[in-house]
Amino acid sequence: MSATGLSVFDETVQKTNIFVNEVAKELNLDKDKAFRGLRIVLHKLRDRIPVNEAVDLGSQLPIFLAGFYYESWKPAATPTKERSQEAFFDSIESTYQSQNLEPDVEIEKLVRAVFKVLSKQVNSGEIKDVVSIMPAELKELFPQAVRA
């Protein structure tokens, strides 16, 4: 018997857990903190890339995680213009602050961990497409293998 009674729900929850668990393992965080960081970084990445690429990336995520990815999205306000790592990290820090939260790890470590997990779990062609349109400083946050 499945946990929810619907195998499609169970499958997407399991796939989402893979993302969360990998981020948690990379950063030595509990699952709640790992999910919070994953969600924030996915939103900032989504908002930094053009709409068509954001949709392509979203289509590669498990359905459950994709729902969080698209949460509160305003496509007309994208892409945002952060070109430096500092500006990108500041936007993530601002999101934590707007939620009255403190980051659980250094922002750079969080971003690198999420980008590493995305690079493992999402189609390599799609990740390379995302990386190819990022400014040089932001490309450096992705694993070397997908920057080549």
Q: Where are the domains of the chain?
A: 7-147
CATH topology of domain 7-147: Globin-like (1.10.490)
Q: What is the pLDDT of residue 7?
A: 87
Positive or negative, the Cα torsion across 47, 75, 147, 125? positive
Q: What is the pLDDT of residue 134?
A: 97
DSSP state of 28: T
Q: What is the mean pLDDT of residues 2-21?
A: 89
**81 residue type, one letter:** K
pLDDT score of 5 more than 80: no
- At 26-81, the pLDDT tens digits run 999 999 999 999 999 999 999 999 999 999 999 999 999 999 999 999 999 999 99
- At 95-132, the pLDDT tens digits run 999 999 899 899 999 999 999 999 999 999 999 999 99
Q: What is the mean pLDDT of residues 84-104?
A: 95
User: What are the tokens at 94?
Assistant: 């601002």
Q: What does each C-alpha distance from 8 to 17, 40, 58, 62 come to in angstroms?
A: 14, 25, 18, 11
Q: What is the pTM of this model?
A: 0.95
Q: What is the mean pLDDT of residues 7-16?
A: 92
